[in-house]
Amino acid sequence: MPELPEVEVTRLSIAKGISGAVIQSVTVGKPLRWPLGCPPEGLIGRTITAVRRRGKYLLLDLDGGLLLIHLGMSGSLRLGQSLEARGPHDHFEMETTLGTLRLRDPRRFGAVVWARDEGAEEAKKLLGSLGVEPLSDLFTVDGLFAGLRASRAPVKQVLLSGKVVVGVGNIYASEVLFLAGIRPTVKSSTIGLARVRRLHVAIREVLARAVERGGSTLRDFASADGSEGHFQLEAHVYGRHNEACRACGSPVRMIRQGQRSTYYCIRCQKA
């Protein structure tokens, strides 16, 4: 599943190329997770002025409205001058004066949604409950501490919910908790300030590094210019059930939390 780093890498790979492009035609394939919310022809003639990101949403600013793009479970976005012929999994495409922007999404959990602005109902529904951006200055130790303090749920679940901080998806949650030495099952509200500080550093470092390396959590993920990421090769615990912990040699454990796999080391993450 594309996570925040993949979405940020996608943003970086298309932002320069598409800014200033005028939309010339729009082709919509099979239904995605949510409807577009405007007639496709309504986008024609509009200029894409910027590409931003909020959580896992890409925000394409238009001169009049914006498009919110979510890559769902299996989506990828490509921008090119001469893409190959449209395939059965290409469900949204815009021809622009600066190339074709195409969303390929075999499982169709992704979406492209039009909104008048970020304050519009349809945008608030998607963006309204998102926590702070982990790579922004708004993400502070105090804010993280207060957010974790407020919940009695296991810390992994609180991180995954995205309500305190966005972008810590399933793989990254196991990784950052390992780096912070915190057991994923521990009650969120009981974590002291010193460990929250370590967690804050770990979240920033892991996500920033993943963006830097072109992050990949999906095997066939490719950024919009076709180059591939390789974050998965470096996981400390994720996907390493029964393999030796890279720090202490104990076998890495796997448990299920909320139907998702969690990996941790019982020696390095005592509580």
Residues labelled catalytic: 2-3, 56, 260
For the CB of residue 240, give the shortest distance to Zn ion in the complex, in Å.
11
Q: What is the CA radius of gyration of the chain?
A: 20
Q: What one-character-per-residue DSSP string does 169-226 give?
A: -HHHHHHHHHHHT--TTSBGGG--HHHHHHHHHHHHHHHHHHHHTT--SSTT-B-TTS
Footprint of Zn ion on 218-247 (CB under 5 A): 245, 247
Our CB check for Zn ion shows the closer of 102 and 183 to be 183
Residue with Cβ nearer Zn ion (80 or 251):
251
Please give the DSSP secondary-structure letter assigned to residue 49: E
Map the footprint of Zn ion across residues 96-135, applying CB under 5 A. Answer: none
Span near Zn ion by CB under 5 A; candidates 23-31, 47-55, 254-262, 263-271: 263-271
Query: In a 3-state reduction of DSSP, which class is residue 121?
Result: helix
Region of 6-14, 96-104, 129-137, 259-267 interacting with Zn ion (CB under 5 A) = 259-267
Residue 197 token pair? 């500080």
Q: For Zn ion, which is the closer residue by CB, 138 or 248?
A: 248
One residue of 138, 146, 244, 248 binding Zn ion per CB under 5 A: 248
Report residue 4: phi and psi, to 5°: -50, -45
Q: Is 267 a residue that touches Zn ion (CB under 5 A)?
A: yes
Alpha-helical runs (H) found in the chain: 4-18, 121-127, 141-149, 155-161, 170-180, 193-212
By CB under 5 A, is residue 83 in contact with Zn ion? no
Closer residue to Zn ion in complex, CB, 102/236: 236
Q: How many CB atoms lie within 10 A of CB 247?
A: 14
Which stretches of the chain bind Zn ion, using CB under 5 A? 245, 247-248, 250, 265, 267-268
